[in-house]
Chain A
Amino acid sequence: MLDPDITLYRLHACPFCERVVRALDAHGLEYRSRFVEPLHSDRDVVKRISGKRTVPAIVDENTGVTMSESANIVEYVERTYGGDGA
């Protein structure tokens, strides 16, 4: 199986992250989940890809987009993969 184009950086039990999961699932998108540490200062892996330590963050190799903030990501997913956009 090919690696999915989308990687989601998420925190266990984070409602903002689950919100993004729900949006990805709603559009039948394949994604890889990478779970990070609850402690903000321990999230260098996220900072390296997005410049910030906040989660959720996604990397979409399909479009070259990397972004943070659940509202932004949900809107991006809708815009890119929703309706007749795909």
Chain B
Amino acid sequence: MDLGFEVVSLGPADHVEEGEQAPEFTRPLVDDEHWENVSLSELTDEGPVLLVFHPMAGSFPTTYIWQELVERGLEEVLTVVGVTSSDPYAQKRLVEARDMEFRLFADPANDVARSYGIEHDLDGMAGISEPRIATFLLDTDRVVRDAWVSEEWPEFPPYDDVEAAARDLAD
């Protein structure tokens, strides 16, 4: 982002890399009607998955990210799911507000982000952390085929690259 001043740097994260198998997890997966425990491998067993780590539901970057992904219509190509440290009620309101086909994992303890090496402690909100903004493209063996993790706060995904990699893998 060019704002005329230096955006706060988070530095590189020691995150799960391309070629590695993505850590398995089970969390409530939320749509506009209900939620239930779903594991990541249940999703990758069905086809490639774009795993999108986003800030808490209600924050402005989250609104922008999902607006952009909805516009790109990636649900026709592969499974797109979000993850953040919001509870299922907040995630459900996000799905409803954005009127989206995508489902969102709720991980209030932020353990999933921790296992991917992308935990972000929030200044001024004691005891609360959320994931860095990040995308992981997974094949049906849950192997990471494309990974992007933000290094500034905030920094948005390179949507064109993420979409191209997703469409390539899905073909």
> Are A and B genuine complex partners?
yes
> Does residue B104 face the partner (Cβ distance < 8 Å to A)?
no
Where the two chains meet, the residues of B that have a C-beta atom closer than 8 Å to any C-beta of A are 1, 3, 5, 7-8, 55-56, 58-61, 63, 122-125, 153-154
Let me know if A10 and B124 touch, CB within 8 A.
Answer: yes
**Is A12 engaged at the interface, CB distance under 8 Å to the other chain?**
yes
Within the complex, the shortest CB–CB distance from A58 to chain B, in Å, comes to: 13
A13 within 8 A of B: yes
Main secondary structure of the interface of B (DSSP, over half): loop
Given A21-B123, A21-B124, A33-B124, A12 and B5 contact (CB-CB distance below 8 Å): no
Contact A14 B123 (CB under 8 A): no
Enumerate 6 A-B pairs (CB-CB under 8 Å) in ascending A order.
Answer: A11-B60, A12-B125, A13-B59, A13-B154, A38-B60, A38-B63
Interface residues in chain A, defined as those with a beta carbon under 8 Å from any beta carbon in chain B: 8, 10-16, 18-19, 21-22, 33, 35, 38, 70-71
When A18-B8, A19-B8, A21-B124 are in contact, do A13 and B3 touch as well, CB less than 8 Å? Answer: no
A19 and chain B: residue at smallest CB distance: B5
* Residues of chain A within 8 A of B55, CB atoms compared: 12-13
Once the chains bind, are B122 and A12 in contact (CB under 8 Å)?
yes
Q: Nearest-CB distance from A32 to chain B (Å)?
A: 9
Complex interface: chain A residues within 8 A of B56 (CB): 12
In the complex, which residues of chain B have a beta carbon less than 8 angstroms from the beta carbon of A71?
Answer: 5
Contact B124 A15 (CB under 8 A): no
